[in-house]
Amino acid sequence: MNHFEYQGNDLYCEDVAVKDIAAQVGTPFYLYSHATLSRHMQAFTSAFASVPHIVCYSIKANSNLAVLKTFVTLGSGFDMVSGGELFRAQQVGCDPQKIVYSGVGKTEPEIEAALNANILMFNVESPQELETIDRVAGRLGKKAGIAIRVNPDVDPQTHPYISTGMKQAKFGINISQALEDYRRAAAMPNLEVIGVDCHIGSQLTKLSPFVDAIKKIRELVETLKQEGFAIKYLDLGGGLGITYEDEEPPTPTDYAEAIIEATKGLDVTLIFEPGRMMVGNAGILAAKVLYVKEGEAKNFVIVDAAMNDLARPALYGSYQGIEPVDRSTKERMVADVVGPICESGDFLAQDREIPAFKQGDLIAVSSAGAYGFTMASNYNSRPRTPEVMVKGDQVLVIRQRETYDDLIKGESIPEGI
């Protein structure tokens, strides 16, 4: 459920009309519902209330400080994949013992910062990374809590770009090698083995891949415990999908029932890294129609948002809903919704039946709260959009629109050029 609903013909975010926000901040802009963020977090945590667990929201999905603070206030920790994300987590007062550090390319300065921050554990993704963390921890006189990210070779049945748990993926250590690497880690003086980690992909809409992965991981956990490893945590990653078009992903309750049953008796604290399911349908991208262009082969609705603002359709060919901010027009058309970027790949929708938009109309690109602004760029020297949060009847600008001066910050023209 989300809190974007029509009142009459006008689209509202909670108690505020989207058209009024557009008049205040201009277009395009990202818009998030505080009530939806809160509801998603509470639905997830309540589903697992019967077992020890930690929710570590995946910062990469949407890293705005106001979004992060909303989750921290509700008891969330964080899954981070960079030093910059650690910095953001610290800015919002996240308990470091609720932070896990994933990612295949952790640098020594990033590892050092995480150790100094006293995070819960590193999800280690290669044997050389084990050695590096041990070396850095030794230099600092610290013990690093670690889990190995185990690749169970399970097909998550999702887009190849967001499939992470198969042999071909760059992520994790193959399950056939994991036991040997755990034994190596146990012999390293500055590491403390405390967990097992597994993340098989994103936007999963079936329970079976999760269950299949846990069956394999369960055997490993039991073997490790038999060998004397004090495995306290089982990190099952994220990946639960959302509805973009007609998908019917499991509810948090259904997901929890399957996970709790599959992990019964392991005597571990479960860690989850939800991202998309927390923020995806809590946000939209609002834009204005600049031109409607009728061509011989197809029609184009040209808007002031583009692939630099929302990369997913161009990057993945993914579906994003296109809705009118004012739905009084009943006529329909088939068109591509495109932006001003000088690329044929600059589209938000292709060959889509949509309302017959007119110049000056406002559109809402739905399900844009995840991997929207975080993947935005300044391509074509376009300032990035503002981000706005609505809480009840309050309109809160949580990131200002960039200016042209922001575009050239840090650049210089050396003397003699």
Question: pLDDT per residue over 137-171, tens digit each?
Answer: 999 999 999 999 998 877 655 444 444 444 556 67
CA dihedral 71, 76, 82, 86 (to 10 degrees): 80
- What are 7-12's contacts with CB under 8 Å, separation 24+? 9/326, 9/327, 9/328, 10/325, 10/326, 11/323, 11/324, 11/325, 11/326, 11/327, 11/364
**13 catalytic, yes or no?**
no
* Exposure b/e, 282-321, CB count within 10 A at least 16 = b: bbbbbbbbeebeeeeeebebbbbbbbbbbbbbbeeebbbb
Distance CA 396, CA 153 (A): 44
Domain ranges, ordered by start, for the chain: 4-32+280-407, 34-279
For residue 109, give the H/E element and its range: helix 108-117
What is the pLDDT at residue 165?
41
Q: Is 80 helix (H, G, I), strand (E, B) or coil?
A: strand
Q: pLDDT averaged over the chain? A: 94
Say if 4-32+280-407 and 34-279 have the same CATH topology.
no
For residue 206, CA distances in Å to 41, 156, 211, 247 come to 20, 8, 10, 10
CA distances 136 to 114, 129, 192, 276, 313, Å, are 11, 11, 14, 33, 40
Rounded distance, CA 377 to CA 357, Å? Answer: 27
Q: What are phi and psi of 14, to 5 degrees?
A: 50, -115
d(CA 225, CA 53): 19
As a dihedral over the C-alpha atoms of residue 15, residue 19, residue 21, residue 22, rounded to 10 degrees, the angle is 160
239 annotated as belonging to a binding site for a ligand: yes
pLDDT of 273 above 90? yes
Residue 95: its pLDDT value, please? 98
Whether the full predicted model's pTM is greater than 0.85, yes or no, is yes
Pairing status of strand 144-151 against strand 173-174: parallel
Ligand-binding site membership of 276 (annotated): yes
DSSP assignment letter at 400? P
Q: What CATH number labels 34-279?
A: 3.20.20.10
Query: Does residue 182 register a pLDDT over 80?
Result: yes
Task: Give pLDDT, residue 166.
Answer: 44
Which range among 116-130, 158-172, 276-290, 314-328 shows the weakest confidence by mean pLDDT? 158-172
Q: Mapping DSSP to helix (H, G, I), strand (E, B) and coil, where does residue 402 land?
A: coil
More confident: 272 or 248 = 272
* Spatial separation of the C-alpha atoms in residues 285 and 279, rounded to whole Å: 13
Catalytic-role residue among 13, 94, 198, 342 = 342
How far apart, in whole angstroms, are the C-alpha atoms of residue 255 and residue 259? 6
pLDDT digits (tens, 9 = 90+) for 327-338: 999 999 999 999
Q: At residue 263, does pLDDT exceed 60? A: yes
Q: Is 352 annotated as a binding residue?
A: no
Per the CB < 8 A criterion, the answer to whether 165 and 152 are in contact is: yes
CATH class of 4-32+280-407: mainly beta
Q: What is the pLDDT of residue 168?
A: 54
Question: Do 164 and 172 form a contact (C-beta atoms < 8 A)?
Answer: yes
* pLDDT above 80 for 373: yes
Which pLDDT band holds residue 44 (cuts at 50, 70, 90)?
very high
Known binding residue 192? Answer is no
Does residue 201 have a pLDDT over 90? no
DSSP β-bridge partners for residue 301:
292, 337
Is the confidence at residue 313, as pLDDT, over 60?
yes
- The answer to whether 401 is a known ligand-binding residue is no
252 is in an annotated binding site: no
pLDDT band at 114 (very low <50, low <70, confident <90, very high): very high
316 is in an annotated binding site: yes
Q: Specify the pLDDT at position 162.
A: 40
What percent of the chain shows pLDDT beyond 70? 96
Which of these ranges, 132-141, 150-159, 359-368, has the smallest mean pLDDT? Answer: 150-159
Q: 112-116, 118-122, 201-205: which range is least confident on average?
A: 201-205
